[in-house]
Amino acid sequence: MAITLAQSRRIGAEIAKKNPRFKPIVKQFGPCPLGLNSRKPLESNFSTLASSILSQQLSTKAAATIIKRVKNLSGGRISPSGISRVKIGDLREAGCSNSKARALRELAQATLSSEVSMSSLHRLGDEEIKEQLLPLFGIGLWTVEMFLMFQLGRQDVWPVGDLGVRRGWEKVHRMKGEIKPAELLKLGELYSPYRSHLAWYCWRATEIL
């Protein structure tokens, strides 16, 4: 799914051509980095998903603190085998809620039992990945969409449930009211197969407009 910098530039130009309101956003922030072949994942698929679970409904600072504690508990890195050996009570003492501790343990078990082919998710299509991950406790659609975009570099994810994407779209189009996810889902069809880039530019729009 990797693309080149030149391809990303062309996608940005295409978005600006289809919708000139995005032209100043594309001009200021340049090509979207999602999926660039020069950017390799820094963490494993399991570690990324585990960190997403731990970060839910927390500030960036609080999440980083808890992730660090969990890493220490599991042997210096968040791995399925490491998490499976950590007691629920220890996870709770590290700052995890009951539901997050359960989600981590179930994710580890699903990985170790090969219920989820964690190391080969990149070989699956987006819908196949959703079918594997969404049944797991503590993993919702938003988490999977962020995983697809930022970990696997998928180009055509359109996370209309994300508040930042909706607010960015509203600002770009100077909307007075709030757009509904269902409406935005339909509007995004014009930009397939590079809706991940569109989402990224919506996020950037919230920073300047």
Would you call 162 a catalytic residue per the annotation?
A: yes
Whole-number Å distance between alpha carbons of 169 and 186 = 13
- Nearest Cα to Cα of residue 41 among 122, 124, 140: 122
Choose, from 90, 126, 156, 162, the residue flagged as catalytic. Answer: 162
| Interacting residues of 89 by C-beta distance below 8 A, sequence separation 6+ | none
- Nearest Cα to Cα of residue 172 among 197, 202, 152, 146: 202
List phi, psi (to 5°) of 3. -130, 165
The number of CA neighbours under 13 Å toward the Cβ of 35 is: 25
Rg (CA), the chain: 18
Q: Which residues are catalytic?
A: 162
